[in-house]
Every structure is written in C-alpha cells, then in structure tokens.
C-alpha cells in the first residue's frame, strides 16, 4: 500500500491515460460508423442517379455497376475510400452492397457495421 501512496502521481497519470484511451476507442468506433453511413449515402445517390437516369436507363446491370464504380472512385475522397476498403474490400464491394440493398440500405448497413467494427 505504501508503494501506491509513494507513487501516487504515477498511478494517477497511468490511470488517466487508460481512461482517455478507452474513451478514444469508443468515440473512434462511433465516428467510423458515421463516416461509413455518409459514404454509403453518397454511393446510394450515385447508384440511384445511374439507375434512374435517362442516359443510363438502357444499360444492363453490369455496365451500370461499372459506371457506378468509376463515378464513386472519382468522387469519394481518399480517406473515405480507405474506410470503404476496410469494410467492403474496395469500392466495387461497396457499390455491389448498395446496389443489392438500395431499398433497405440503412438497416442492412447497420447490421454490417456492427459485425465489421
């Protein structure tokens, strides 16, 4: 017990660092979830524009997805592309996920983010 009292300054410092680290980890996961949802909403906007656009309506699904991947790759910032790559394995995987879950994107994405993060 005397060791703790004699090194009280060190113990308090280490304890505060541990508490700060735990809070940062919790905040980081929440920030990642929010960033993933923002990126998925941007991808959804691009996919909906391609699916319903008069110029691209006549294209088959594979051509629409290829066009969506190229547009998403050019429009997302590198930080979001890296985050999407960690969760979906790349932009193509994210576009495929959004394409299949267009009507129910938010619940499907929430389930996936819980599993991944």
Report the C-alpha gap between 37 and 41 in whole angstroms.
Answer: 6
**Rounded Cα distance, 21 and 18, in Å:** 5
Q: What is the pLDDT of residues 87-104, one digit of tens each?
A: 888 888 888 888 887 777
The predicted structure's pLDDT at residue 109: 66
Compute the average pLDDT of residues 50-73.
Answer: 87
Cα 19 to chain center, whole Å? Answer: 26
Residue 70's pLDDT is 92
Q: Please tell me the distance from the alpha carbon of residue 109 to that of residue 117, in angstroms, as a whole number.
A: 12
Per cent of the chain over pLDDT 70 is 79
What's the whole-number mean pLDDT along residues 57-65? 86
Question: Mean pLDDT for the chain?
Answer: 78
Give the residue ranges of DSSP H helices in 53-90: 61-75, 78-88
Write down the pLDDT at residue 41.
86
Alpha-carbon span 21 to 24, nearest angstrom: 5
Q: Which residue has the higher pLDDT, 108 or 64?
A: 64
Contact 94, 87 (CB under 8 A): yes
CA separation for the pair 29, 24 (Å, rounded)? 9
- pTM metric for this prediction: 0.67
For residue range 5-59, list pLDDT tens digits in order.
Answer: 777 776 777 777 777 777 766 766 655 777 888 888 888 888 888 888 888 888 8
């Amino acid at each position: 017990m005397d060791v703790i009292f004699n090194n009280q300054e060190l113990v308090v410092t280490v304890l505060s660092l541990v508490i700060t680290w735990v809070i940062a980890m919790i905040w980081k996961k929440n920030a990642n979830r929010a960033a993933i949802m923002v990126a998925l909403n941007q991808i959804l906007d691009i996919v909906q524009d391609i699916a319903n656009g008069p110029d691209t309506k006549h294209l088959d699904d594979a051509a629409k997805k290829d066009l969506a991947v190229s547009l998403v790759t050019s429009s997302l910032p590198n930080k979001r592309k890296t985050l999407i790559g960690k969760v979906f394995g790349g932009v193509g995987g994210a576009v495929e996920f959004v394409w299949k879950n267009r009507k129910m994107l938010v619940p499907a994405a929430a389930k996936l983010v819980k599993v991944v993060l």
